[in-house]
Amino acid sequence: MWILEEGQILPYLRIHYPVFDQSGPVDIQCIGAPEGEEKPLEPDEGGLINYIFRVSNGKQSVIVKQGRSTSRKNDKIVLPIWRNRQEYETLRLRHAIVPQYTPETYYVDWENAVFLMEDVSDLAQVRKLLCSGVMLLGLAEQVGEFVAASTFYCSEFYLEAGLFRRLSACFRNSDMRSIMENWVFLRDAPYLTHNGNPVLKQLIDRDDSIRVCCYELRHKFMTQGEALIHGDLHTSNVFADEERLKVIDMEYTFAGPLCYDIGYFAASLLAQYCTACFRPFPSEEARRTFLSYLLSSLLELYHSFVEHFTEFWREDAKPIYQRSGGFCEHLTRGFLPDVLGFAAVPCFPQITTSLTPEFARLDGEARIQAHELCLVLCRYLLLEREQWDTMEDAVQAIGAVTQIYLDCLE
């Protein structure tokens, strides 16, 4: 196996991708290079597991991604090399469904676990934009459409049953999905060294109500193979500007619950919301505007997902489902509890085991308060998720509980 380092990228491309012009200067950047390396960059979530290089000659720019048998950040974590092939295949699949939201792939090398894809660095990572207070007005609508399309058209509602079963078997992905099964739902991540908030960790670990709900949703995650899902759709894996959006990092793809991806992305918005209550803004008016934007985005995200899913159903569902009367409406009415549950649960590890960029921007008392608010909100959403009839009700409750918490601090 050819282990790619920065100095080997150009010889590799000369052999495997000769259409890349090397006649002039070529710039190579290692995505996620830590401080102190020859070309230090801001640490990037994309470099956590894989080895990723951006190669540009001024006219062409490609991403070279290699999957190895161990994690980039922790060589004690053993990973299947074939995950790289599965990511390439799911990128191709989703590009066929939603090319406007999926990077194009150029080349794959099975033997060396390498593929080349479109460089989306002309867009900005959504997490960094939100952490800087930038409001992308089309974000929620576009993410909702991406998830609705990529789940519906990879589900048995659209695909012939035998084909869907073969697709599900092809993307079983048991090694990668087990990472999420343990980290998201059990808060077990041996590759993370940050211990989080120890007091709140004890509260969460001793809370039987949280534990039962986490196991219930974990069981759904493990057993409800309703459609191919992204599996890791958070704001670091979405790049956007005011008009365009691209989704990356699809190596966790498997057949899972229809609502998981929307809930998981909503968890990123909830984390932003909790930290925005305490991080500096130019004015309190600017803070209120940003918080209102995040709550509106939660609403728009959910409604975009449901409305686009319903639209695709009406246009392209199999005849057996076209004749099913109100089944689509019945199905989508059941989305809300799962979306809220899958939004709440991923926030708990951000309190107990991992310091995500949203919370890392806060220090001292501000971080503690953001963690506390996150726990209060997510516990409330998790335990009461069956009680709300509409997403509007849930978002209104988020605002009300936030105000109660803030009043208690005064």
Of 176-180, 194-198, 211-215, 337-341, the one with minimum mean pLDDT is: 194-198
Q: Is pLDDT above 90 for 394?
A: yes
Alpha-carbon span 197 to 120, nearest angstrom: 35
Q: How confident is the model at residue 40 (pLDDT cuts 50, 70, 90)?
A: very low
Q: How confident is the model at residue 37 (pLDDT cuts 50, 70, 90)?
A: very low
pLDDT at residue number 190: 62
Q: How confident is the model at residue 36 (pLDDT cuts 50, 70, 90)?
A: very low
Residue 227 identity (one-letter amino acid)? A
What average pLDDT score do residues 50-79 get?
90
**What is the distance, to the nearest Å, from the Cα of residue 398 to the centroid of all Cα atoms in its chain?**
22
User: Is 237:258 a contact under the CB 8 Å cutoff?
Assistant: no
pLDDT at residue number 408: 95
User: Over the stretch 224-248, which tens digit does the pLDDT of each residue have?
Assistant: 999 999 999 999 999 999 999 999 9
Return the higher-pLDDT residue of 38 and 322. Answer: 322
Question: Positive or negative, the Cα torsion across 102, 106, 110, 114?
Answer: negative
Alpha-carbon span 151 to 262, nearest angstrom: 10
- Number of Cβ within a 10 Å radius of residue 57: 15
Alpha-carbon span 198 to 335, nearest angstrom: 33
| Identical fold, 6-118 and 124-409 | no
Alpha-carbon span 292 to 300, nearest angstrom: 12
Q: Is pLDDT above 80 for 220?
A: yes
Percent of the chain with pLDDT over 70: 95
As given in the structure block, the two tokens for residue 295 are 């709550």
pLDDT at residue number 193: 58
pLDDT at residue number 77: 79
Q: Considering just the CA atoms, what is the radius of gyration of the chain in Å?
A: 21
Mean pLDDT of the chain: 93
In the chain, where the domains are located: 6-118, 124-409
Comparing CA positions, the residue from 150, 342, 161, 162 lying closest to residue 253 is: 150
DSSP string, 323-344: TSTTHHHHHHHTHHHHHHHHHH
Task: Fold for 124-409, please state it.
Answer: Aminoglycoside 3'-phosphotransferase; Chain: A, domain 2 (3.90.1200)
> Between 208-223 and 174-186, two packed helices, what is the crossing angle to 10 degrees?
160
pTM of the model: 0.95
pLDDT at residue number 44: 42
Q: Is pLDDT above 70 for 398?
A: yes
User: Is 52:65 a contact under the CB 8 Å cutoff?
Assistant: yes
- Tokens 């609502």 belong to residue: 259
Its CATH class, for the domain covering 6-118, is alpha beta
Of 136-140, 146-150, 185-189, 384-388, the one with minimum mean pLDDT is: 185-189
Q: Which residues pair with 54 in a beta bridge?
A: 29, 63
Q: Is pLDDT above 80 for 98?
A: yes
